[in-house]
Amino acid sequence: MSKFLFIDVGLLLSAQGIPAQEVMNANLELANRGSLAEQFVGQQLLYSKPEYVNPELYYWHPPKSQGQAEVDFLYVSGNTIIPVEVKAGSTGTIKSLQSYVIKKQADLAVRVSSGKPSVNELVAKSAGKERDFKLINLPFYLVNRLGSLLATGNAQE
């Protein structure tokens, strides 16, 4: 499904009634605002691709009868669709990513957070099924490099 965002973080802040000065004065951390984190990541993913690629964002959720999972973004790299989950802090569960990995037979997933960059071999568990996959943990400041990391294979090592 298509994902809609504000054109920039400033418009989101305005719509939520948050003065930009709060962000500039560090009174409001990105880690405390999930919608702000998702907006930032969405903008970075939209405009990190070459100029000739039409900017589009999609997200995933299964039919209601199959649960409440939702993956924030689907990132296309070559012929592969990679689920991307945004976590405002450095921790949080990845149940939706695991559900996607199993239902779509994915081998790779990305979690964007304020944590350190890393790559982990994990086992997704959902609805009594299991599947091995690789999880790339990417800090916010590297989101716009996701495409080049995937293309060079550096994110998968």
The domain spans of the chain are 9-156
Report the pLDDT value the prediction gives residue 31, as an integer from 0 to 100.
39
Report the pLDDT value the prediction gives residue 10, as an integer from 0 to 100.
64
Report the pLDDT value the prediction gives residue 43, as an integer from 0 to 100.
83
Phi, psi at 53, each rounded to 5° = -90, 125
Q: What is the largest CA-CA distance in the chain?
A: 48
* Residue 32: alpha-carbon gap to chain centroid: 16
Classify burial at 110, counting beta carbons within 10 Å of its beta carbon; exposed 0-12, middle 13-18, buried 19 or more.
Answer: buried
Which residues, given as ranges, of the chain have pLDDT below 50?
27-32, 157
Both structure tokens of 106:
């994915």
H or E segment and range at residue 80:
strand 80-86
Pairing relation of β-strands 108-113 and 80-86? parallel
pTM exceeds 0.75 for this model: yes
Report the pLDDT value the prediction gives residue 74, as an integer from 0 to 100.
94
